[in-house]
A and B are shown apart, each in its own frame.
Chain A
Amino acid sequence: LLTQSPATLSLSPGERATLSCRASQSVSSYLAWYLQKPGQAPRLLISDASNRATGISARFSGSGSGTDFTLTISSLEPEDFAVYYCQQRGHWPPTFGGGTKVEIK
């Protein structure tokens, strides 16, 4: 089970965002982050806890291992306001967290 917090994060453009994903049991580093904008499909941001996917801005960074993971957005751009999901593949079947909505304050 993956638990994301907070459910909603209200911030202003330019601010730093810190999103948390906690696993009920260790998933090693087998964790990914996805971004989903309204009406669009999710997009892979981070894989293996800390590896940015192709074409993803360096303002996105991931960290953690075991049960506690963090996605950090160093300075929010307007296009970053969306829903973020974490996903694990350390245990079968792959599962997703419930999501964190980053909204404009």
Chain B
Amino acid sequence: EVQLVESGGGLVQPGGSLRLSCAASGFTFNYAWMNWIRQAPGRGLEWVGRIKSKTDGETRDYAAPVRGRFTISRDDSKNTLFLQMNNLEAEDTAVYYCTTYRNSWFDQWGQGTLVTVSS
């Protein structure tokens, strides 16, 4: 059974940093392309970014609002996905989900971790 467990969310001041983690199990993580998707309170879904597998070059792509501030990385030895978020803004307040990317769709989702950016 695929499991994705996010952690690392919390309250941070504007301009601050936070690092989210996503522990994966139940599938071959090192071959998987992984994504981060967020959902602001009471709002819809927004794709944040993705990272390809090492065998596919570990290429990273980001949504325009976070490019230059967020960095996605992975540790295949620990089956863990990361999202480093710097220079956080109030508009980054959201639940952050990690997802698998099977047949180019967001196939499996974690339960999410809440990030609140506020002074």
Query: With A and B bound together, what is the CA distance between A73 and B64 in angstroms?
Result: 35
Most buried by A among B46, B97, B105: B105
Query: With A and B bound together, what is the CA distance between A42 and B110 in angstroms?
Result: 9
* Interface members, chain A 36-95 (any B CB < 8 Å): 40-44, 47-48, 53, 85, 87, 89, 93-95
* Interface members, chain B 76-115 (any A CB < 8 Å): 97, 103-112
What is the count of residue pairs linking A and B with beta-carbon distances less than 8 angstroms?
Answer: 45
Query: With A and B bound together, what is the CA distance between A64 and B110 in angstroms?
Result: 29
> Looking at chain B's contact residues, is the secondary structure mostly helix, strand, loop, or mixed?
loop
A32 / chain B contacts, CB cutoff of 8 Å: 105-106
> Looking at chain A's contact residues, is the secondary structure mostly helix, strand, loop, or mixed?
loop
Given A85-B44, A93-B63, A98-B44, residue A44 in contact with residue B111 (CB < 8 A): no
Task: Say if the beta carbon of B31 comes within 8 Å of chain A.
Answer: no
B61 / chain A contacts, CB cutoff of 8 Å: 93
Given A93-B61, A96-B44, A97-B44, residue A41 in contact with residue B103 (CB < 8 A): no
Q: Contact at B103–A42, with CB atoms within 8 Å?
A: no
A42 / chain B contacts, CB cutoff of 8 Å: 45, 97, 106, 109
Given A41-B109, A44-B107, residue A96 in contact with residue B46 (CB < 8 A): yes
Q: Contact at A41–B46, with CB atoms within 8 Å?
A: no
Tell me which of A44, A93, A95, A99 contacts B106 (CB under 8 A). A44
Given A32-B105, A47-B103, A47-B105, residue A95 in contact with residue B110 (CB < 8 A): no
Known: A44-B106, A48-B103. 17 other contacts (CB 8 A): A30-B104, A34-B106, A41-B97, A41-B109, A41-B111, A41-B112, A42-B45, A42-B106, A44-B105, A85-B45, A87-B45, A87-B106, A93-B61, A96-B44, A96-B45, A96-B47, A99-B44
Q: Could you give 18 example pairs across A and B, Cβ below 8 Å?
A: A30-B104, A32-B106, A34-B106, A41-B109, A41-B111, A43-B109, A44-B105, A44-B107, A47-B103, A48-B103, A53-B107, A85-B45, A87-B45, A87-B105, A94-B47, A95-B47, A96-B45, A97-B44
